[in-house]
Structure 1
């Protein structure tokens, strides 16, 4: 019996990826997919987060196909329908093998999604990052950005939390916010600062949460507890369907698609720069005075 029949469909994202490769090679045990169906499957596999978190109508619009095409594709793969197909992506995003699965597709299968085998892979990565940056600006919610700026300016204290892959962006944002105003702290487990510190927060405080999929549980726990304590939350994430985005109405999205082993981060740093620029303009002379005070201290201490 064909191993891709309804009795033996793929049960993991890795199996689905392998199945796509077998079908592309025309192996006898693989499902017979048309060129259009295979191209659709490749496009969905190239953007696992979007595929796992979007509705069927959103995916259809994104791929330029009718939603029924997604259902037919799922059934051709031996799955009962789109929900079962999408569940493979969601389980893959939540698993500890998120990055290895992505790397396997790029390396073992010898391909970069969305490019021909002869394309310059470095050029493809650069082009996709430019697309991410353009998408960040094009889809930017200016009201949400201004709301975030006002919250940063008015908060008694600002806690910036972003762990693991998001740590660098969290450090960048917290470091320069501290130039502009007092009461800014980066939450870092490396410094022995745990989730319990959120217990000190209340309605006068702000938490800026940064998390890309796969989202770090400690970051989410900190943000949830802060919200329970009444603190405001600004979220920086790469998908509106992320868990972090679900905790607040003030969410800034940094699209992060592309043929890269890990999470492309250029768009996230762009969001941080936009926030810093707006906050500096909002504070005006107060920001300038704060920066000069910091610079004077640096000069006095001989910090290089």
Structure 2
């Protein structure tokens, strides 16, 4: 082993690894520049398919990620874990916590409230998470990148919107706003199961917006990747540089939402997706 590799391994072994999924995701995003190609590939797969990492074997996960099992071990050690099993435990803990019922979450909230008003404390917690989310977006948003996203969408003949699960309200809001502003748009969410055919109708003269956050809705990722392969300009709204959406988007905007007792806010994402349609309409009105 050469001296630089030895130093890298020593540094990794001395690092205290993240013990929850959110911290691990942020850690990987911060270290993406230093990750070798295969390790970055494995890391992207892990963040895009956290349930599979929690439940799979090293061999099955490596096969799905198109890497060798040894790559998973090297990734784990690079991030400071003892090995793949130690790395996998973070994903298993996330799955365990996610499996808790809404009733259990509410019970946990109640245990943490010492004042007289349960309802007031509950509202205060959600409002605080919303404020923190919006403040984080205000500090992190890149106005120039936002303007580039607006430009791509303003030039489109039709704007396709893709969002599922927790991100679906963003699609509903944007579709409503674009419609009210007279901007042609199609939400890829058919009741009769022809979403793939709708995706195939998009052309390079159109544009698309895809929204998804960890653990990333598979249908959203698949449709976003299909649109990108077809050469359709794609604007991604997601939570990290290692998101599968940021990997295939023409331009992307990062939104990191805070949570209260496990209930994650959508406040910053809603603010962003309210601004986008209005900015697109104004760009078209001004013709710039």
Q: What range describes the TM-score normalised by the shorter chain of this pair?
A: 0.5 to 0.7
Map 1:87-98 to 2 at 5 A. 87-90=88-91
Map 1:1-304 to 2 at 5 A. 45=20, 48-55=21-28, 80=82, 85-90=86-91, 99-101=98-100, 106=105, 110=108, 118=114, 120-284=121-285
The structural deviation recorded for 1:53 is: 4.6
| Structure 2: gaps spanning 5 or more residues | 1-15, 32-75, 116-120
Q: 1:98 to 1:197 in 2, by over 3 A?
A: farther
The structural deviation recorded for 1:197 is: 2.2
RMSD over aligned Cα, in angstroms? 3.5
Structure 2 length as normaliser, TM-score?
0.64
Report the Cα distance in structure 2 between the residues aligned to 1:134 and 1:87, rounded to whole angstroms: 32
Structure 1 length as normaliser, TM-score?
0.61
Report the Cα distance in structure 2 between the residues aligned to 1:118 and 1:84, rounded to whole angstroms: 39
Aligned partners of 1:159 and 1:206 also within 8 Å:
yes
The structural deviation recorded for 1:222 is: 0.6
Flag the structure with more relative contact order, 1 or 2, with Cα contacts below 8 A and sequence separation at least 6: 2
Aligned length: 220
| Structure 1: gaps spanning 5 or more residues | 1-36, 59-73, 287-304
Query: Secondary structure of 1:197's match?
Result: helix
The structural deviation recorded for 1:106 is: 4.3
Structure with greater helix percent? 2
Q: Which has the larger radius of gyration?
A: 1
Report the Cα distance in structure 2 between the residues aligned to 1:210 and 1:191, rounded to whole angstroms: 22
Q: 1:182 to 1:276 in 2, by over 3 A?
A: closer
